[in-house]
Amino acid sequence: MVAPPVIGNLWDGVQGPQTKPVPITKTWRNDRDPTRRRATFGVPYPLLEITIDNSHDLHAKLPARFETTKRRSVPGVRLRLLVPTIFSDTDFRECQFRWRETLGESKVVGSTFKNCSFCRCLLGGIVFNHVTVENSTFTRCDFGGSKFEECQFVNCIFTECTAENASFIVTEIDPTAFLKGLPPPVYNYENPIPDGEPNAVQVTADWIEVRRKLAAQLLRSNTEIHHSVNSDRGLFELKRAELKLRIQALQPHSLNDLARLPLRATQVFLSWLVLHATKGGTSLSRLVLAATFATLAYAYLLSRSHVTFLSQDCHLSSFAPALVLQQLARAASLFLAVGYTDFSGGPLATVFLTAAAAFGLFWYALVAEVVIHRVYR
């Protein structure tokens, strides 16, 4: 969703609203967001304010819709939503929803946003309660320090946003879509950085922990509303963030760390394997596919060998359907480790049989992890 071009001053002329925005008396030092860790770094703070305290204000205090697109553009204002409001087909650009501290806690309660776009908007430090956002996009917006209580995000796209220290309570939101749109804000560190500020490399390293905390929040939030799909995605994202932290910690800082590096690297590799084989312990589909391929591979290897099963040679001289089915049964027995002792062969064959059965036992462990997760989800 792309915001339409802004033509002239939308607060005056034909597009202008009946009631003009109220100028804000400046009481702050900075004219723009000074924090590089936020996606809104450099965004000017609004100097105009609009208060929506009844349904009529939505049409009387906001610019009119464009005739060609039927969308409304709202640029550079601070909005106070005192009543539940429904916004549709609206493009917010460099807007702020946080009130002045003298007006009390900043809240957005019961409002709905449908087919809206938010570009470079300041959405941090706000309590969102019972807010629904559908089919909307967020580009370079900051949610830092905001609290989302019993909210719902449906089919939303996030691009280069930040949400440090945000919290989610009983809120439906796709963890994968949200975290995908929260890369480290390195785009704010391209120019020379003043002395004393962290550089892009340090911020990228810090963002691993930021993502881990957010993933934990999203997992808990979606679990509280029993949204199984988003809950599974949240668990996957949490485990992926934890794995990145473990990879980051592999860098040795002493001789003792260097000596333990092979063991720790092996543990990280196994964690990576479990993460991607089971989607973080949430899916059996990849395990079923792995079992199928393993059984076919075992059947082929057995047919090319002279390993015996119950004193019968597993080597196939033909591919008659009955013999192929028998061979697949033998392969499945080996993979599931239920017929391991019925196989015999030379030293090399014994190594193969042991490795094949061991892989099957590892597969059992992965299946058990997924089953336990599903039972106690």
Q: What is the mean pLDDT of the chain?
A: 88
The whole model's pTM is what? 0.82
What pLDDT, on the 0 to 100 scale, is given for residue 247?
A: 83
Query: Are β-strands 22-23 and 72-75 bridged in parallel, bridged antiparallel, or unpaired?
Result: unpaired
| Residue given tokens 């957010």 in the structure block | 214
pLDDT at 259 exceeding the cut of 50: yes
What pLDDT, on the 0 to 100 scale, is given for residue 338?
A: 86
Query: Are β-strands 48-52 and 78-81 bridged in parallel, bridged antiparallel, or unpaired?
Result: parallel
Closest CA to 179 of 156, 199, 201, 152: 156
Write the single-letter amino acid at 278.
T
d(CA 343, CA 319) in angstroms, rounded, equals 21
Q: Which helix (H) or strand (E) holds 236?
A: helix 228-248
Q: Which helix (H) or strand (E) holds 245?
A: helix 228-248
Q: How confident is the model at residue 270 (pLDDT cuts 50, 70, 90)?
A: confident
What does the pLDDT average to over 238-245? 89
pLDDT at 4 exceeding the cut of 50: no
What pLDDT, on the 0 to 100 scale, is given for residue 102?
A: 53
Q: Using an 8 Å Cβ cutoff, are 128 and 84 in contact?
A: no
What does the pLDDT average to over 62-83? 91
Write the single-letter amino acid at 95.
C
What pLDDT, on the 0 to 100 scale, is given for residue 377?
A: 63
Percent of the chain at pLDDT above 70?
A: 94
Q: How confident is the model at residue 6 (pLDDT cuts 50, 70, 90)?
A: very low
The number of beta carbons lying within 10 Å of the beta carbon of residue 279 is: 20
User: In this predicted structure, which of 38-52, 96-110, 336-350 has the lowest mean pLDDT?
Assistant: 96-110
d(CA 73, CA 63) in angstroms, rounded, equals 7
